[in-house]
Amino acid sequence: MIITVDKFKEFADVKEPDEIIESKLTALESLIRKYTNNNFQVRSIRSQSVILDGKILNPPAFLKTGDTIHITESMLNNGVYEVVSIDDNGMSVSKDLLDCRRNLVTKVEYPPDVVMGAVNMLKWDLQNRDKTGIQSETISRHSVTYFSVDGDKTVMGYPKMLLGFLMPYMKARF
């Protein structure tokens, strides 16, 4: 996960339940990975691993609880997971895994500016999503002007100014 719910709450005062925040963070992580075409893998922390009884046997060295991993080259388990526990019997992750002999397990690590950018995006989403689209509103002597939503000012439903931090991490699509 790009950032834990508890860590996010240190940066933002939110009233939504933890489950909703976690779902939004997961969706935001996926959005950032797709938009940048960057999977943020640490290729030096990688191994071919077997998944048996829902556990990853012989996981890569240097992983710890709370880390994010990316499983690729698997017939059944491709995706991004959070490490829940590591013991002598293997590694457990946040979602159920199917038994599979070939899985490439790689650590995922997000740079601090990507994490903070995601925090800012989610804060904007929670505070301003319901206000988008209103250009101007006047009631008596009270006037309100919100962010205009058009193709030149937004990307993926967010203001372009919030996505500038992703430019150094963009990778070419082939």
Q: What's the whole-number mean pLDDT along residues 160-171?
A: 92
| pTM of the shown model | 0.84
* pLDDT exceeds 70 at position 14: yes
The pLDDT of residue 39 is above 70: yes
pLDDT given for residue 156 in this prediction: 81
Mean pLDDT, rounded, for 16-38: 94
Nearest CA-CA partner of 29 in 10, 4, 12: 4
Interval 48-57 mean pLDDT: 96
For residues 50 and 59, give the distance between their C-alpha atoms in angstroms, rounded to a whole number. Answer: 8
Interval 87-114 mean pLDDT: 96
DSSP 163: S
Q: What is the model's pLDDT at position 130? A: 72
pLDDT at position 151 over 70: no
d(CA 111, CA 58): 27
Residues 130-154 have a mean pLDDT of: 68
Helices 112-128 and 18-36: crossing angle, nearest 10°? 120
Question: Across all residues in the chain, what is the average pLDDT?
Answer: 90
**Three-state DSSP state, 60:** coil
Q: Which of 60, 40, 38, 54 is nearest to 104 (CA)?
A: 60
Residue 12 has pLDDT above 80, yes or no: yes
* Higher-scoring residue by pLDDT: 148, 110: 110
pLDDT value at position 134?
A: 59
